[in-house]
Chains A and B, each alone.
Chain A
């Protein structure tokens, strides 16, 4: 405000002043709304910006007794240690593969389910399917991972029993015990748990589609598939894109509980994601500095990914989320 008024004095006075006045008047007119915003601004400030001060820990050998201002400064040592650790590089690879598969699968399955539900004309059936498909979303991963374990168990899991009964395999496959199956197990169990919930967003976007578009398409001789491709999909495209950009921001975050609860010594070479790595190597031993250093790396890459995907999205057809 001070900057504005000094500028106002140096020239172009009238216009600037008028602008300032209108801003003030606008603020005054919306004062109730502005007051309502304060708690949320504070929330973001306290929980999203203030913790960034803690990033200094990454460059220190932090000890809780000495505090942030008293701990020894070690420069980039924590980062050097992380990038010299083969397990950390393995963790980056696992994180990227796991979340990439997760995004692809959950993304397409949710859109597919939403499109199919949208075509169902029997309301009762639609409601039932929707309820059943989003129920697992409300089960915590602790319980869900146990279900995954039980279903995939080599001795009494339903999948192995079915495969054996069909004569496809002669003895149980230890799905949870082999690293090569792990990525797919994560991707598919994620679909099972979240598909119904994710589909809700697309379904709600579909309710906003003007029914006249469908009628017009039908008059032009479009069949079911044609109507889906030419009307439904283009109309929910903005939603799809926002969801994709948001999910790409989570590419460095494969989901801690999900992966950690399904990881075990047998499949650790595939299940050691960055979160699991931080938990076992930094948090268990109380190495806050090391954990923070990896957290910074993670956040930086995530921000870059969001920027890039948003930029790409804008380039393609002018929509972006910021």
Chain B
């Protein structure tokens, strides 16, 4: 039996592209739902870390400023 190859090729294309897109669209939906659930029920220690880290950084900065000021003062007083 003779098969029209080009016709078969087009069938493959329609089937293949629709399944690839179907899969990825499902994946996008699942990703969105998953991240909502994760953010809702597992808010991560990050939420707690974020406010604390600037304070630490601020403290570090103050220390640096103090160190620099001390160094300048030390140089000047020489």
| Co-complex (A, B) | no
